[in-house]
């Protein structure tokens, strides 16, 4: 008998399907969620520390500033459910500020999940930690231990901006279904601002965002057996005004052909692969999005310059 193949080295079938289907579209595009392999997650951490990438530090400072107000508006002994916990530094701020009874980090990456759960468990001995390994965009169950506790969803980072409004409202409704009527949600949204600052945040002079974007092609080569000549593509950030979003693209510097797992693709010079949307909301637009998703805004905070908003809403 032959030994069974080593499944650890097999690519995620969903990644393969998204790449092959996305590149064959008339407007080639790959969903932004595939940026985050180990290298991509490291590069994103580097992005959050760049001088031109204002969102992370603005949101973190804002969260610190408003914590006592959030605490006053939150139920005692609640369960904080963090949607996509990643390697967040914002979590301890919230936990220290409102002292919940339980913390439920939800993340698709088991590694990150165990890491953040262990850190919280050690630093907050009074908080029960119930990690859930799940894709927060798909149905999942909350641990039965938190069933009776009031829920506070936490969705920072402006991750909602990655979703086109139609799927963004679907996602908010999905959160409502999971957290239940009466739950609260603290959500971060990046605001519309001057185009120069937006473009600089997504095309830093250090070239980290370019590397983050191009890493997707390396990942395809690594995991899906592609032979993409990565140096034939360059990073581009565009402001799409009518749709109020930053788009990231990988633009072909020359005519280029490659194959992925037996499938052939050709890109003419100047054509692109659309790799990310990052929607920016004005005050009204952000609240309408929440309302359409089944959440009533209760309070909204921004930093002095109005660069970033945190909104507390109720289901
Ligand atoms: C993690 C989705 C909030 O859109 O600003 C940063 C990802 N992409 N630089 C964002 C990202 C390029 C980021 N989010």
Model confidence over 120-153: pLDDT tens digits? 999 999 999 999 999 999 999 999 999 999 999 9
Pocket of ligand 1 (CB under 6 A): 47, 55, 157-159, 161-162, 202, 209, 276, 278
pLDDT on residue 112: 77
Residue with CA closest to ligand 1 atom 5: 278
Give how far Cα 212 sits from Cα of 62, 201, 217, 295, Å.
Answer: 26, 13, 10, 33
CA of 159 to the centre of ligand 1 (A): 7
- Tell me the per-residue pLDDT of 59-110, one tens digit each, with 9 for 90 and over: 999 999 999 999 999 999 999 999 987 667 899 999 999 999 999 999 987 8
What distance in Å separates the CA atoms of residue 182 and residue 212, rounded to the nearest whole number?
39
Distance CA 226, CA 77 (A): 50
Closest ligand 1 atom to residue 212 Cα is 12
Contact between 252 and 271 (Cβ < 8 Å): yes
Please name the residues in contact with 225: beta carbons below 8 A apart, sequence gap of 6 or more: 260, 261
Nearest-CA residue for atom 4 of ligand 1? 278
The pLDDT value given to residue 1: 44
Q: Choose one of 50, 59, 211, 276 to mutate for the ligand 1 pocket test, by most ligand atoms within 8 angstroms of C-beta.
A: 276
Alpha-carbon distance values, 296 to 52, 160, 302, 306, 311 (Å): 33, 16, 18, 21, 10
pLDDT at 243: 98
The 10s digit of each residue's pLDDT in 14-45 is: 999 999 999 999 999 999 999 999 899 899 99
Which pLDDT value is given to residue 108? Answer: 83
| pLDDT, position 109 | 79
Closest-lying ligand 1 atom to the alpha carbon of residue 278 = 4
By the 8 A CB rule, do 147 and 265 touch? Answer: no
DSSP codes, 273-314? EEEEEEE-B-HHHHHHHHHHTT-EEEEEEE-TT--EEEEEEE
What is the SS3 assignment for 116?
Answer: helix
Span from the CA of 276 to the centroid of ligand 1 (angstroms): 8
Residue of the CA atom closest to atom 8 of ligand 1: 202
Q: Does residue 10 have a pLDDT over 70?
A: no
234 pLDDT above the threshold of 60 = yes
Rounded mean pLDDT, 248-267: 97
- 30 C-alpha to ligand 1 centroid (Å): 15
pLDDT of 88 reads 74
Q: Mean pLDDT score of the chain, rounded to an integer?
A: 94
Give the ipTM: 0.98
Mean per-residue pLDDT for 200-228?
98
For the CA of 44, the nearest atom of ligand 1: 6
């Amino acid at each position: 008998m032959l030994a069974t193949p080593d499944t650890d080295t097999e690519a995620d079938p969903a990644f393969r399907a998204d790449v092959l289907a996305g590149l064959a579209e008339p407007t080639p595009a790959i969903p932004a969620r595939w940026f985050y392999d180990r290298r991509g997650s490291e590069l994103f951490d580097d992005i959050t520390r760049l001088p031109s990438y204002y969102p992370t530090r603005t949101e973190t400072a804002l969260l610190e500033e408003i914590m006592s107000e959030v605490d006053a508006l939150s139920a005692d002994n609640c369960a904080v459910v963090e949607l996509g916990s990643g390697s967040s530094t914002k979590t301890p701020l919230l936990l220290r500020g409102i002292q919940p009874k339980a913390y439920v980090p939800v993340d698709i990456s088991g590694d990150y999940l165990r890491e953040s759960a262990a850190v919280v468990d050690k630093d907050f001995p009074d908080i029960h930690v119930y990690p859930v390994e799940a894709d927060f965009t798909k149905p999942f169950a909350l641990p039965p231990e938190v069933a009776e506790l009031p829920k506070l969803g936490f969705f920072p980072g402006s991750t909602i901006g990655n979703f086109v409004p139609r799927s963004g409202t679907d996602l908010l409704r999905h959160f409502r279904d999971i957290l239940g009527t009466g739950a609260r949600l603290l959500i971060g949204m990046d605001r519309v601002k001057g185009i120069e600052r937006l473009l600089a945040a997504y095309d830093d002079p250090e070239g980290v965002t370019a590397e983050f974007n191009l890493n997707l092609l390396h990942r395809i080569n690594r995991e899906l057996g592609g032979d993409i000549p990565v140096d034939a593509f360059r990073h581009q950030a565009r402001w799409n005004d009518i749709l109020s979003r930053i788009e990231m693209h990988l633009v072909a510097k020359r005519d280029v052909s490659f194959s992925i797992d037996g499938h052939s693709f050709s890109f003419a010079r100047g054509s692109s692969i659309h790799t990310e949307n990052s929607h920016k909301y004005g005050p009204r637009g952000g609240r309408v999005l929440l309302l359409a998703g089944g959440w009533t805004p209760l309070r909204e905070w921004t930093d002095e310059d109005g660069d970033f908003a945190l909104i507390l809403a109720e289901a």
